[in-house]
Structure 1
């Protein structure tokens, strides 16, 4: 049964939440009195559909159904999750809670996107205060994994755990904030940096562009993958954090910051900041900047996936869930019909797979087919545990035919056949499709080897039995068109 999320308030954050749930297969019901809400959310969704699938190395589930409603009671009907993202006015939020709690399920979770209010403030006049907690995301919500989960003393531990579970299921990283505090955790750091930046601009020390460059070219890269304390621990060298604190701790007493003093927020300062910002990036419209941001975020997070580190580890965990939910085969016993090609890859074409012509570049066809061979190896029993015992497959020969082009966001599927498996050799045939359109074929010869001797070695009994089962079941299929071709052979 499709799950339902209600989005109350469809601005930048609400639209991002809608995309996050929708592209993870939830039905989404939106309430926003803004007559432009449907257009605005539609534009956010266009960006999300372009970029979010690129974070995953497996296909996202089928997109849920998006509906817009003129009344809160209609929007929250049947919703398991309700996300409030209305403007940051406490009286408005409290009024919204009264209306939606009169109509929503009593077991629904009501999360607030508030960046500043504490949950106890949100709960003050609510009919069921225990139902409300803070779930504060970061923009763009459909890409950034962090969500701060902030309960109050009135929030049952079971509701907190369910909140964290749902956030994890849609690919986010729930950070449980153990004590209520204004602005939670992350925004307190951002506010400190923001205040110092305002002083640097006001005092003529740096322009908005120079400050942004100091972040982009320096500590922003380090923070993206290691945070604050681990970065400084590494800076301490072999002696670690204690040495760092001893060396730089006294600097805390030096007048390096004006964080205890705030510049007067007047029209002159606003005009100064806005003018420099316009000069810095005013040649780009907001949708262009969002797409550039999304491209960069996806590329950086995909690099972290390869290392299974930080946000990349969160994405890998979500990929494993998506594969399981989609019923992707992980072992031979799971194959429903071994007489048919096995789906070994199902994913979207990500941003970093494109070339200068705007379509998928040659090397990524090889990667997709290599991923398909790796999946087939896993299915027959040559998984990481087996490889750790000293056996694996090496690729001896590869031939790829490029038949049609494919573009950003296209859902591709690789279907794999075992043409031959005997002695120490495995002959695989891969076909890549986008829907019914054949994009490419890949032919691989793999040799089973001993990792100790680096020489060919017989299959294990389990691998031999699984390969025999698949190859014999598929033996009745017609020989694939193009098998055994050589490079340059006339078509």
Structure 2
């Protein structure tokens, strides 16, 4: 039966196969605080995984608005036995050959004393096929992700008949804990769920190219400028429900259902992938994207995905809602009052940088604004308090830009309360990357009655907490830059 091992401070995942998918899994686990061991006999595996990890470090932390876990430790193992010994999770991403997967599972279960989840990234095999001949078939299942694994949250979790329900629940817990959405496929089927849709679109696209109707670029434009964006935040059925207007889904089906009987689709047939057709597709794709290297295309893709997903996050919708839930799980506590409070701890996201390649000056204000909001929560001026009719409004701000910072950098803001009495709250924020000071922000806020939109004294609980923190901070050394005017002191 599945039992989480307690030997290490961090959980440990073994990644068997260090290609594109295996490297993505390694990055996802590692950046979510797991230790990771990678085994792949390819002599280039370490270079490939580290390149994928570099992209992940640059992009994944920017999806979170709270501190990420401390990055785990990464090892590249010379043998499979070294990789799987006493781990908590095994992710198999070897080539799609069933006999090879069976061989790997036998080796894993020979070397792993206790039952450990063995999750396969396969898109082509059902779990019952993977479990054939295994010593412990109950521990084997499919966990099929989508590239890039370190950004996209969906993973199709497909147990077989022999998979024990406890392993399924344990797998859901692990995958949710690293920020993914485990879609439990209750009945195994070839190609699972998502790839069946992809294959249908792929077949139709092949016919459109073969018949000279569209090029690879035109087909991609039809997706990325149209229904791809709709599907990205609503999926298929919810999109069609909206298309049905006020009359809803029944109206949509009544209006568009008959077209399913029209003879124009070729989804039940596939063009022969002749050398000529392959050449046409390859040449069109080269013309479309050949100016970019694979790494450049990956970065463009990551930039776009982060931007879209952060936009969805602001709406608490689709994949953005999942990110907000993950942030809530990772949100830091209040901390002691006898030193500056850490009010922001996060990575700089891709969309915070400007044409100079460093953080846009407006984002310094956003980071300090987030720090002020967090401080307000700490003193009790939270959503419930604001709903009751009181809040703090910023009256004056002064920011000093001391050093530059780039996308992916992990920043923190330390907040000192200089004054907290009557209607006033005077805060001094310092932004750091490690020990390097990046900026300071000085903010004067006034408590306001939201009913009359005028200055007022805060409620007793807020006033008491604010006063206590201000009194504790009064004994701290005064940070450099307090009261500084533009250009003064240079």
TM-score greater than 0.5 by the shorter chain = yes
Partner of 1:82: 90
Displacement of 1:102: 0.7
Q: Give the structure 1 partner of residue 397 of structure 2.
A: 398
Equivalent position to 2:272, from 253, 258, 264: 264
Equivalenced residues, count: 482
Instruction: Check conservation: 1:329, 1:344, Cα contact below 8 A.
Output: no
- Distance verdict in 2 for CA 1:105–1:460, change over 3 Å: farther
Structure 1: tracts of 5 or more residues without a match = none
Which runs of structure 2 are paired with 1:221-232 in the superposition (5 Å)? 221-232=229-240
The offset of 1:490, in angstroms, is 4.8
Is 2:9 the counterpart of 1:10?
no
Match of 2:226 in 1: 218
Q: Supply the distance in 1 between the matched residues of 2:113 and 2:402 (Cα, whole angstroms).
A: 52
Separation of aligned partners in 2, 1:158 and 1:459: 51
TM-score (structure 1 length as normaliser) = 0.96
Q: Distance in 1 between matches of 2:296 and 2:349?
A: 18
Query: 1:428, CA displacement in angstroms?
Result: 0.8
What's 2:415 paired with? 416
Q: 2:43 — aligned with what?
A: 35
2: distance between equivalents of 1:149 and 1:397? Answer: 52
Give RMSD over aligned pairs: 1.2
Per the alignment, residue 440 of structure 1 pairs with 439
Contact 1:24 1:170 in 2 (8 A): yes
SS at match of 1:227: helix
The SS at the match of 2:415 is strand
The residue that corresponds to 1:299 in the other structure is 307
Displacement of 1:49 after TM fit?
A: 1.2
**In structure 2, do the counterparts of structure 1 residues 479 and 67 end up closer, same or farther at CA, with 3 Å as the change threshold?**
closer
SS at match of 1:303: helix
2:130/2:140 contact within 8 Å kept:
yes
Match of 2:158 among 128, 150, 156: 150
- What is the correspondence of 1:58-457 to structure 2 with a 5 Å cutoff? 58-323=66-331, 328-330=332-334, 335-336=335-336, 338-457=337-456
Distance 1:154 1:392 in 2: 57
**Structure 2: which 5+ residue stretches go unaligned?**
1-8
Structure 2 partner of 1:20: 28
Paired residue for 2:53, among 45, 52, 56?
45
TM-superposed CA distance for 1:488, in Å, is 4.2
CA contact (8 A) 2:16 2:40 kept: yes
- 1:274-320 CA-partner distances (Å, limit 9, x unpaired): 11101111111111111111111111111111111111111111122
Q: Decide whether the 8 Å contact of 2:448 with 2:457 is kept in 1.
A: yes
Whether the 8 Å CA contact 2:396–2:443 is kept in 1: the answer is yes
Contact between 2:18 and 2:39, CA under 8 Å: does it hold in 1?
A: yes
Question: How far apart in 1 are the matches of 2:125 and 2:41?
Answer: 23
Q: Is the 8 A contact 1:6 1:83 kept in 2?
A: yes
Question: What SS class does the counterpart of residue 219 from structure 2 fall into?
Answer: helix
SS of 1:102's equivalent in the other structure is helix
TM-score of the pair, normalised by structure 2: 0.96
Contact persistence 1:419–1:428 (CA under 8 A): yes
- Name the CA distance, whole Å, in 2 between partners of 1:284 and 1:79: 39
